[in-house]
Amino acid sequence: MSLFEWLFERRDPQPTGTLDVETPEPFVASPPGIYFRGAIALAALAGVGYLVAQSTEPAAFSILAILYFVVAFVFLPKPDMSNTGIFGFIDHPFRWSDDVNRLLAILRVFLWPGRFVVSSLRDALKLFGNWGTFG
């Protein structure tokens, strides 16, 4: 945050997004659709497992992968897209709030694959084990 941003936005703060604790709702689709998503998620998880196994520190990378999946499943960044800079992507030199919103947008994109993997596996296992109903 620059001095200009601190001085000018103190008087008129712009809206910023939030980082919510929100697990995804179950995916509502036909059973083949849920199983298809589960298969894609299982393949992605197998790919992560392969990368962890090939690493020089598999224990550390396993912990990092598990932490990533937990954080991606639990936290949902919600940026305020009306305040993401000039033209939606250029840094506004007099606002720090657009920096926060762009960071939340990047974080949302970064966490999306992990959220997809965990929620798809949860839905497929729930349907496979008939642990509950959707809808």
User: E strands of 39-109, at which residues?
Assistant: 75-78
pLDDT tens-digit series, residues 11-39: 666 777 888 998 888 888 888 999 999 99
Query: What residues does each domain of the chain span?
Result: 3-7+16-128
Cβ 48 vs Cβ 116: under 8 Å: no
**Single pTM value for the model:** 0.79
pLDDT tens-digit series, residues 64-75: 999 999 999 999
Interior angle at CA 14, CA 23 and CA 102, nearest 5:
50
